[in-house]
């Protein structure tokens, strides 16, 4: 059996007035994903367990068949795994966003889409600035970076993802809990370093927003997952442009396939991902292709960009992979967003998203297109969501 997974991050949404009460999924032309839904099973899945913040890490763990109640330790340790980073005894790993805060509000969680060269320079100087304090800053991709804190056995915090607090007063959303003052002090002092940094002087001269702050969140200690092949059987590979999915792949013991131009943004190399996914089916039992673009469009509140991203995923990723997997005698294909990212709120949502799968031994039941409304009308709710993988793989 060959298995293919299409993971359109944040694809689900709310009905929008500017779309006459429809969602981007309802408006977008997605004949391939619709074919899968019509010719197989269509459902909604509770990808975000009760009590968890809606996010890619928790949602994707559910999609791959892992219960966050049993294994989740935080977002940052998963991203650290993608970079080959670990934390020793007494250390804790934080996600470290480079952000723009203006008038006390989270103006841009990407720091104006800080370039890789700019981010590398800023992270290097943060390392120098805090060199004597048991802190190490690790550059990753653009605004998405990591910090490891030593002597942190007492740290027990709640923190807000910056992409979920657009234009909100950050004073109300700073890390809270045991060790909060230490973490807030690091953020305050980093602001003073960034204020007159060479990178920001150049950005202001170019009429680009400055990177004003670091935002520490998603903290946790190393995560241990049972390898996917041991848990379920198939030997898998993953294609993605973001470290959170790369890290999950590493933790699950899956092969990472890198695609040039996979940016983790709206401008990602859709065609390259689709071609690589189709080719990888020759070498692996299961291939998962993740595309971040719908989530990024949702965070921007850009409805047109989200529709475009969904159509590109359908044409350039789902289409080639569906064609390739159907060449095998026994096959299945799954489409599974991790969570909604509504353009109205520009933040993640815990509402169960639609999922669908088709293939050998899967009888068409709902026979409806792949949309939120049709999935709800079909009536099948997979709860808990981590049972989806058992349903998909069942023979």
**Three-state helix/strand/coil letters over 137-194:** EEEEECCEEEEEECCCCCCEEECCCHHHCCCCEHHHCCCEEECHHHHHHHHHHHHHHH
| CA angle in degrees (0–180, nearest 5) for 144-337-69 | 75
Q: For the domain bounded by 2-72+225-393, which CATH number is listed?
A: 3.40.720.10
Q: What is the pLDDT along the chain (395 residues), one digit of tens a residue?
A: 999 999 999 999 999 999 999 999 999 999 999 999 999 999 999 999 999 999 999 999 999 999 999 999 999 999 999 999 989 899 999 999 999 999 999 999 999 999 999 999 999 999 999 999 999 999 998 999 999 999 999 999 999 999 999 999 999 999 999 999 999 999 999 999 999 999 999 999 999 999 999 999 999 999 899 999 999 999 999 999 999 999 999 999 999 999 999 988 899 999 999 999 999 999 999 999 999 999 999 999 999 999 999 999 999 999 999 999 999 999 999 999 999 999 999 999 999 999 999 999 999 999 999 999 999 999 999 999 999 999 999 96
Task: For residues 40 and 362, give the distance between their C-alpha atoms in angstroms, rounded to a whole number.
Answer: 6
Give which of 100, 360, 80 is closest to 224, Cα–Cα: 80
293, 265 Cβ separation under 8 angstroms: yes
| Structural tokens at position 93 | 């790993």
Distance CA 240, CA 146 (A): 19
Please give the distance of CA 230 from its chain centroid, rounded to a whole number. Answer: 24
CA dist 371 and 337 (Å) reads 11
Backbone angles phi, psi at 172, to 5 degrees: -90, -5
Helix axis angle for 303-312 and 293-300, nearest 10°, is 170
With contact defined as beta carbons under 8 Å apart, do 294 and 8 qualify? yes
**Rounded to the nearest 10 degrees, how much is the dihedral formed by the CA atoms of 190, 191, 192, 198?**
90
End-to-end alpha-carbon separation of the chain, Å?
Answer: 9
What's residue 395's pLDDT? 66
Residues of the chain with CATH 3.40.720.10: 2-72+225-393
């Amino acid at each position: 059996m060959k298995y293919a997974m299409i993971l359109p991050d944040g694809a689900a949404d709310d009905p929008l007035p500017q779309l006459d009460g429809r969602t981007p999924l309802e408006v977008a032309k997605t004949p391939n994903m619709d074919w899968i839904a019509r010719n197989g099973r269509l459902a909604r899945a509770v990808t975000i367990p009760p009590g968890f913040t809606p996010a890619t890490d928790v949602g994707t763990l559910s999609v791959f068949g892992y219960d966050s109640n049993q294994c989740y330790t935080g977002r940052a340790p998963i991203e650290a795994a993608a970079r080959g980073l670990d934390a020793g005894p007494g250390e804790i790993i934080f996600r470290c966003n480079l952000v723009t805060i203006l008038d006390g509000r989270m103006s841009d969680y990407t720091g104006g889409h800080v370039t890789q060269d700019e981010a590398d320079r800023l992270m290097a100087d943060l390392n120098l600035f805090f060199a004597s304090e048991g802190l190490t800053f690790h550059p990753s991709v653009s605004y998405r970076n990591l910090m490891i804190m030593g002597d942190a056995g007492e740290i027990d915090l709640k923190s807000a993802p910056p992409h979920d607090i657009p234009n909100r007063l950050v004073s109300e959303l700073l890390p809270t809990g045991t060790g909060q003052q230490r973490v807030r002090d690091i953020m305050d002092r980093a602001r003073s370093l960034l204020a007159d940094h060479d990178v920001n002087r150049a950005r202001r001269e170019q009429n680009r927003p400055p990177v004003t702050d670091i935002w520490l969140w998603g903290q946790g200690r190393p995560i241990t997952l049972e390898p996917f092949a041991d848990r379920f059987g198939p030997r898998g590979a993953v294609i993605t442009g973001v470290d959170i999915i790369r890290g999950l792949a590493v933790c699950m013991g899956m092969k990472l396939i890198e695609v040039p131009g996979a940016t983790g943004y709206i401008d990602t190399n859709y065609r390259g991902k689709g071609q690589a996914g189709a080719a990888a089916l020759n070498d692996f039992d299961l291939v998962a292709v993740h595309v971040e673009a719908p989530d990024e469009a949702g965070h921007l509140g850009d409805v047109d960009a989200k529709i475009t991203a969904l159509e590109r995923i359908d044409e350039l990723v789902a289409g080639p992979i569906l064609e390739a997997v159907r060449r095998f005698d026994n096959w299945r294909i799954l489409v599974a967003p991790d969570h909604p990212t509504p353009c109205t709120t520009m933040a993640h949502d815990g509402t169960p998203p639609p999922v669908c799968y088709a293939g050998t031994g899967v009888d068409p039941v709902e026979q409806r297109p792949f949309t939120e409304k049709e999935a709800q009308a079909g009536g099948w709710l997979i709860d808990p969501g981590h049972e989806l993988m058992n349903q998909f793989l069942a023979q």
